[in-house]
Amino acid sequence: MTPAAAHAVLAMSATELARSADDRKEAKARLEQEFDEMSKVMVREQGLLNHSQAALLLDITPARVTELVNLGKLTRFDFLGRTYVSAKELRARRQEDVKAGRPKRGIVKRVVVGLKAALKTDAVQAKQGGYNGPGERARVKAKRKK
């Protein structure tokens, strides 16, 4: 069953399902089939977690979990109108201990970026001392006091 079909079944209210015994029977059969498939996948993937649970375990936001799914880093599973990710893949990702942000630049790249930034210093910045302006001097002074 496609996720859209499953969602359509779940979206039907009890009143709508009660109108027709055939519709109710068909909906129940589809839900039972999807439930059985979910059970098999849960065994294979060593469990399924929703995005909020996955975010807590990875110490990221649920939106970032969605990004990881969209990037193909985590596999998406849709069952009974809900979205899940694999617990097995989550454990593997936690073992990788992926650090947030970009990797540290090498020394050459840092120097080049520093020079480019210095060349983009405008007249107002230069007049106030550029990189050694009042804010930087105050920070250095406070650091020395500690």
Residue 65 lies in a domain: yes
Q: Is the dihedral of CA 109, 112, 118, 121 positive or negative?
A: negative
More confident residue, 111 or 17: 111
* Same domain (yes/no): 86, 48: yes
Give domain status of residue 13, yes or no. yes
Same domain, 82 and 126: no
Q: What is the pTM of this model?
A: 0.55
Residue 102 included in any domain = no
pLDDT digits (tens, 9 = 90+) for 47-78: 889 999 999 988 889 999 999 999 999 999 99
Q: Using CB atoms within 10 Å of the CB of residue 92, give its burial: 0 to 12 exposed, 13 to 18 middle, 19+ buried.
A: exposed
Task: Give residue 15's domain range.
Answer: 3-96
Is the residue at 69 inside a domain? Answer: yes
Phi (first) and psi of residue 85, to 5 degrees:
-125, 160
Instruction: Answer for the pair 80, 35: CB distance below 8 angstroms, yes or no.
Output: yes
Is residue 101 assigned to a domain?
A: no
